[in-house]
Amino acid sequence: MGDDRPDILRPSAGEAGGQMLQGTLDLMVLKTLEAMGPQHGYGIARRIEQISEQALRLNQGTIYPALQRLRQRGWIRAEWGASENGRKARYYSLTKAGKAQIETETESWERVAATMARFLKTAGS
Protein backbone atom coordinates (compact mmCIF):
# COMPACT_ATOMS: atom_id res chain seq x y z
CA MET A 1 0.00 0.00 0.00
CA GLY A 2 2.83 2.34 0.83
CA ASP A 3 1.91 5.94 0.40
CA ASP A 4 -1.62 5.03 -0.48
CA ARG A 5 -2.39 4.11 3.10
CA PRO A 6 -5.30 6.37 3.99
CA ASP A 7 -4.51 9.10 6.43
CA ILE A 8 -7.52 8.32 8.50
CA LEU A 9 -5.93 5.07 9.54
CA ARG A 10 -2.71 6.62 10.72
CA PRO A 11 -2.51 6.79 14.47
CA SER A 12 -2.65 10.28 15.84
CA ALA A 13 -0.52 10.84 18.89
CA GLY A 14 -1.26 12.23 22.35
CA GLU A 15 -4.94 11.58 22.63
CA ALA A 16 -5.59 8.91 25.23
CA GLY A 17 -4.47 8.94 28.84
CA GLY A 18 -0.73 8.60 29.30
CA GLN A 19 -0.45 5.29 31.09
CA MET A 20 -2.38 3.24 28.60
CA LEU A 21 -1.17 2.15 25.22
CA GLN A 22 -2.62 4.13 22.36
CA GLY A 23 -5.79 2.56 21.12
CA THR A 24 -6.25 0.19 24.07
CA LEU A 25 -9.25 1.98 25.46
CA ASP A 26 -10.73 2.53 22.02
CA LEU A 27 -10.64 -1.18 21.25
CA MET A 28 -12.08 -1.99 24.68
CA VAL A 29 -14.99 0.34 24.08
CA LEU A 30 -15.64 -1.06 20.63
CA LYS A 31 -15.47 -4.63 21.91
CA THR A 32 -17.81 -3.76 24.77
CA LEU A 33 -20.38 -2.32 22.41
CA GLU A 34 -20.05 -5.35 20.14
CA ALA A 35 -20.76 -7.63 23.07
CA MET A 36 -23.47 -5.64 24.84
CA GLY A 37 -25.19 -3.73 22.05
CA PRO A 38 -26.19 -0.10 22.61
CA GLN A 39 -24.96 1.18 25.94
CA HIS A 40 -24.51 4.48 27.76
CA GLY A 41 -21.15 5.84 28.97
CA TYR A 42 -21.57 4.73 32.58
CA GLY A 43 -22.53 1.21 31.52
CA ILE A 44 -19.48 0.96 29.23
CA ALA A 45 -17.15 2.17 31.99
CA ARG A 46 -18.57 -0.30 34.51
CA ARG A 47 -18.35 -3.14 32.05
CA ILE A 48 -14.69 -2.43 31.25
CA GLU A 49 -13.91 -2.36 34.97
CA GLN A 50 -15.70 -5.64 35.50
CA ILE A 51 -14.11 -7.45 32.55
CA SER A 52 -10.64 -6.33 33.52
CA GLU A 53 -11.47 -7.66 37.02
CA GLN A 54 -10.75 -4.31 38.60
CA ALA A 55 -7.11 -4.65 37.45
CA LEU A 56 -7.68 -1.58 35.37
CA ARG A 57 -8.98 1.18 37.64
CA LEU A 58 -9.56 3.81 35.06
CA ASN A 59 -11.00 7.18 35.89
CA GLN A 60 -14.47 6.67 34.50
CA GLY A 61 -14.33 10.17 33.03
CA THR A 62 -11.67 9.17 30.47
CA ILE A 63 -14.29 7.09 28.71
CA TYR A 64 -15.98 10.21 27.36
CA PRO A 65 -13.11 11.66 25.31
CA ALA A 66 -12.68 8.14 23.89
CA LEU A 67 -16.36 7.98 22.97
CA GLN A 68 -16.16 11.37 21.35
CA ARG A 69 -13.10 10.32 19.35
CA LEU A 70 -14.73 7.11 18.13
CA ARG A 71 -17.88 8.98 17.23
CA GLN A 72 -15.98 11.56 15.22
CA ARG A 73 -14.23 8.77 13.30
CA GLY A 74 -17.59 7.35 12.43
CA TRP A 75 -17.05 4.06 14.26
CA ILE A 76 -19.85 4.56 16.75
CA ARG A 77 -22.99 6.65 16.78
CA ALA A 78 -24.81 8.29 19.66
CA GLU A 79 -28.51 8.65 20.42
CA TRP A 80 -30.44 9.97 23.36
CA GLY A 81 -32.67 7.40 25.03
CA ALA A 82 -34.12 6.38 28.38
CA SER A 83 -32.03 4.35 30.82
CA GLU A 84 -33.29 1.30 32.78
CA ASN A 85 -34.76 3.47 35.49
CA GLY A 86 -36.25 6.04 33.19
CA ARG A 87 -33.37 8.53 33.24
CA LYS A 88 -32.43 10.31 30.00
CA ALA A 89 -29.05 8.99 28.82
CA ARG A 90 -26.92 9.00 25.73
CA TYR A 91 -26.65 5.58 24.12
CA TYR A 92 -23.75 4.54 21.92
CA SER A 93 -23.79 1.77 19.32
CA LEU A 94 -21.41 0.38 16.70
CA THR A 95 -21.54 1.46 13.08
CA LYS A 96 -20.65 -0.71 10.07
CA ALA A 97 -17.26 1.00 9.91
CA GLY A 98 -16.86 0.37 13.64
CA LYS A 99 -17.35 -3.38 13.19
CA ALA A 100 -14.71 -3.41 10.45
CA GLN A 101 -12.42 -1.45 12.71
CA ILE A 102 -12.68 -4.05 15.47
CA GLU A 103 -11.33 -6.68 13.10
CA THR A 104 -8.45 -4.50 11.99
CA GLU A 105 -7.49 -3.48 15.48
CA THR A 106 -7.89 -6.93 16.97
CA GLU A 107 -5.56 -8.27 14.33
CA SER A 108 -2.94 -5.65 15.00
CA TRP A 109 -3.28 -6.07 18.76
CA GLU A 110 -2.78 -9.78 18.52
CA ARG A 111 0.30 -9.17 16.43
CA VAL A 112 1.68 -6.71 18.96
CA ALA A 113 0.82 -8.97 21.88
CA ALA A 114 2.44 -11.96 20.24
CA THR A 115 5.52 -9.96 19.39
CA MET A 116 5.76 -8.64 22.93
CA ALA A 117 5.36 -12.12 24.38
CA ARG A 118 8.11 -13.48 22.12
CA PHE A 119 10.30 -10.53 22.92
CA LEU A 120 9.86 -10.86 26.68
CA LYS A 121 10.62 -14.57 26.52
CA THR A 122 13.80 -14.36 24.45
CA ALA A 123 15.26 -10.96 25.28
CA GLY A 124 14.57 -11.15 29.01
CA SER A 125 16.74 -14.21 29.74
Partner 1 sequence: MRTVISRIGAMFRRRRLDAELDEELRAHLEMAAEENQRRGMPADEAWKAALRDFGGVTQVRESMREREGLLWFENLRRDAGYALRQMRKSPGFALVVVLTLALGIGATTAVFTLVYSTLVRALPYPEAERIVALHDVRTQGQSTGGLMSVPRFFDVQARNRSFESLGFFFFDQSTMIAGNRLPMSVQAAGTNADLWDVLGVKPLLGRGYDARDDEPKAPETAVLSYSGWQKIFGGDPGVIERPIRLDGRPVTIVGVMPADADMPTGIDLWHDAQFAAQGWNSYRGEGTRFINVFGRLRAGVTGETAQADLDRIGEQLRREHRQSDGMWGFTSQTLREDRYGAMRPALLALMVASALLLLIACINVANLMLSRASARQREVALRRALGASGQRITMQFLTESAVLGLVGGGIGVAAAFALVRGVAAKLPGRLGVPGTVEMNWPVVLVALLIALATGIAFGIAPVLESRRVELNTAMKQGEARLGGAGHTVRGALVSVQVGLSLILVIGASLLAESLWHLVKNPLGFAPEHVLTFSLRLPWDTKDPAIRSFFSDVQQRIEALPGVQAAGQMDALPTVDWHLRSNFDADWLPRIANKPAINAEDRNIGGNLLGAMETPLLAGRALTVQDSLEKNIPVLVNQELVREYLAGGNPLGRHLLVGGKPHEIVGVIANLRGTAGAIANPPGPEVYWPADGNGGVVGRYFVVRSHGDPAQLVRAIREQVHAVDPQQAIGNVATMDELLNKAVAQPRLNMAVVASFAGIALLLACVGIYGVVAFFVAQRTQEIGVRMALGATRREIALLFVRRAVIPAAVGLAAGVVASLGLTQLLRSQLYGVRPNDPAVFALSVAALLVTVAIATLRPALAAASVNPVEALRE
Name the residues that contact partner 1, by CB under 8 A.
3-4, 6-9, 12, 40-42, 45, 59-62, 64-65, 68-69, 72-75, 83, 85, 87-90, 95, 97, 100-101, 104
Smallest gap from Cβ 41 to partner 1, in A, equals 5
The contacts of residue 80 (CB under 8 Å, 6+ apart) are 88, 89, 90, 91
26 and 105 Cβ atoms separated by less than 8 Å: yes
CB nearer to partner 1: pick between 37 and 61: 61
CB nearer to partner 1: pick between 88 and 121: 88
CB nearer to partner 1: pick between 22 and 121: 22
**Pairing mode, strands 88-94 and 76-82:** antiparallel
Q: Count of alpha carbons within 13 Å of 105, Cβ hemisphere only?
A: 21
CA 61 vs CA 17, 44, 87, 100: distances in Å: 11, 11, 19, 26
CB nearer to partner 1: pick between 3 and 121: 3
Smallest gap from Cβ 60 to partner 1, in A, equals 5
